[in-house]
Every structure is written in C-alpha cells, then in structure tokens.
Chains A and B, each alone.
Chain A
C-alpha cells in the first residue's frame, strides 16, 4: 500500500459507503450482483445468524439468572 493509499484509507468514513439517509450502498450493490436464488439464500442465512444469536443470548440470560442469589 502506498502512502497516498494509506492516507486515503485513514480518511475513509461511513459517508464513503452510505447515501444521504445512511443506507449502505455497498450492501445493496452486493445484493443486486446476486441472482434471485442467491438473494433468497442470503436472507435465509441472515435469519439463521439472528436465530443463533437469539439462542446464544437466551443461554447467556439463563446463566445470569441462575447465578443471581
């Protein structure tokens, strides 16, 4: 990486990837580059991840509760 590129990297902010409403344009471009099947699978994977996080949180909450005297 050149010094110029490094400085450009340091100067980057969310404003470089978001529109005026704060929407990340790169995420939309990634979706649009996919086929409909790939988009559907990506949404399923996103939901699977959220589901796994929910389960992890429930497990954590349960552990916290049992420690409470």
Chain B
C-alpha cells in the first residue's frame, strides 16, 4: 500500500483538522533517515475536530487495518471522540489517529512539544525531536530503540551543523 503523504496532509488541512504529525513521518521530518510507510497524527479529540477529521477521511474509503471483516471506522464525531486509537488503511495509504502519546500526553501537551514546519506551502505542526525520543524510549520495543538511535544521531548532526 503506497503512502500518499502530500494528499493525506492536504485532506487534513483542507478540512481544517487540528493535528500534530507524530511517529515515523515526524521522525523523518526531523532528520531521521529511518523510513516509514504510515502516517500517524495526534488530534484534538473534541467532537468539533472529529467532525472535521471525518470530513477529511470519508472520501478516502477508510477501513480498520488488520480487521478481516473490512470494518469501516465509526464516521460519527461523538463516537470517534471517545476512541483510544484508530488504525486505518485508506485509499492514500496507512493512516493512524493517535489521541494520546505517552509520556507526553494528549493533544494540548503534544502541541506544546511540537514545531511548525512549512510543508507544501502549509504550516504544519510536527512533534519535536526531543519529544519523539522520549516517546520512543517510553515505548521501548526493539524497533523503537533503533528509532532512538536514528533520532539521536539526527540531533547530533543538527547540532554539529549549527556550530560555527
């Protein structure tokens, strides 16, 4: 399943969804060269924002990823606002909604640990490199340990390039 990142982000921006890019794409945008094939976003989990989120994903034929019944996620803002995690496959690739990111917290805290980047002409919030390292360390799986190595190297390279 090919990941069409630009189109996914355009759908979120067009629907005016409040979101922060987290996970592997955030790591890549922060300079980690460990590639990923899914987009994870942390959203404000209000009904209003979930209504916008639904507006963004409805045309993308979303299905619950890994469910043999091909379940369609609840496209209902009130219900969606209560979920713990939404792991989907869409016509634009694998796309996950992550309401909470331990040890950072929910959207407001995630937002505080994000940076703004201009991506395809739109200002986009992306989890910052220190928060990404903290999240991966907290999860602690072997793949996260590898992610930490890449992020720490990217951080060192960034710092080295800033030195005169």
Number of A-B contacts (CB under 8 A): 73
- Please state if A43 and B31 are interface contacts (CB–CB under 8 Å): no
Picked from A31, A35, A43, the residue with its CB within 8 Å of the CB of B25 is: A43
Interface residues of B in 114-144 (CB under 8 A from A): 117-121, 124, 126
Interface majority SS (helix, strand, loop, mixed), chain B: mixed
Contact across chains for B31 and A32 when beta carbons are under 8 A apart? yes
Question: Which secondary structure characterizes the binding site on chain A?
Answer: helix
Query: Interface size of A by Cβ–Cβ distance < 8 Å?
Result: 23
User: With the chains together, A35 CA to B4 CA distance in Å?
Assistant: 18
Q: Which residue of B lies closest to A27 (CB)?
A: B33
A50 to B126, CA, bound (A): 25
A interface residue numbers (CB < 8 A to B): 19, 21, 23-25, 27-29, 31-32, 35-37, 39-41, 43-44, 46-48, 50-51
